[in-house]
Amino acid sequence: MAVILAFANSTTRMTFATDGQNELSMPPIPKPPLTMKTSNGGYTVTIDWQPRDPIEAYPHYNVTTSFVIKIADRNGTGLANTPYSVIIKDSDLKVIIESVTERTDDKGVGRPVDVQFKQNGIAHFTVCLPNPSGAINSDRCANFGMLVVPEFPAIPIAVLTISITSIIVISRFKPQASSAKPQ
C-alpha cells in the first residue's frame, strides 16, 4: 500500500520552513485536487485522482490510480475540445505513460488516465497544451510532482500488536523464580 503526496511546482526539490525558533517544519502536504498554472500563466490545469488516499502500489496490490485532468483559461472557465498531452514518469524519469492526442470534453475535462505505479519515489506528471501550430512548448506546460511512498499494511500491524500484547501478558503472569538459593 502506498500514499501519494503531491506538490505542484517546476522542480522536485522539497522545501522546508522555520517555525520562528529556527526549527525546521515541513509545509502542509496538499490534498487533491491540485491546481497549477502553465509556465506562461495562460492556462490553469487541475488534476484529481481516485482512490485518493491511500493509494496502493502495483507490485503488491495491483491497484490502478485514475487521474482526471481539467484545463481552464486564466479566469477558470473550462476549455472545451482543447488538445493536450500527458507525460507521467517514475522517479528514474522512465516514461510510464505518454499520451499526446488527448482532448477535453465540453466542460474542459479530459478522460481518466490510469496509472499503476511500480516503485516508490517521485513521479513526474506533466500536462502540456500545444501552441496554435500544434507544437509543444514548455511555457504551455504544468508540472506536478507526486511522491509515492509505502504505507505499512494493516495486517502486519495487527499481527505485531497481538504479538507484543501476548508477550507482555505472558511476562506479567509468569511465575517469578525464587531468589533464595537452595542449601
pLDDT digit string, tens, across residues 104-146: 999 999 999 988 877 777 888 899 998 877 788 888 999 988 8
Mean of pLDDT values over 172-183: 62
Question: Which of the two residues, 40 and 160, has the higher pLDDT score?
Answer: 40
Residues 88-108: b if buried by 16+ CB within 10 A, e if exposed: bbbbeeeebeeeeebebeeeb
16 vs 141: CA distance, rounded Å: 25
pLDDT at res. 175: 63
pLDDT value at 51 more than 90: no
Q: Which three cell numbers stand for residue 2?
A: 502506498
What fold, for 2-151?
Immunoglobulin-like (2.60.40)
Mean of pLDDT values over 3-12: 46
Confidence band for 66, pLDDT divided at 50, 70 and 90: confident
% of residues, the chain, pLDDT over 90:
24
pTM summary value: 0.65
- CB-count exposure of residue 64 (10 Å: 0-12, 13-18, 19+): middle
How many H-runs (helices) and E-runs (strands) does the chain carry? Answer: 2, 11
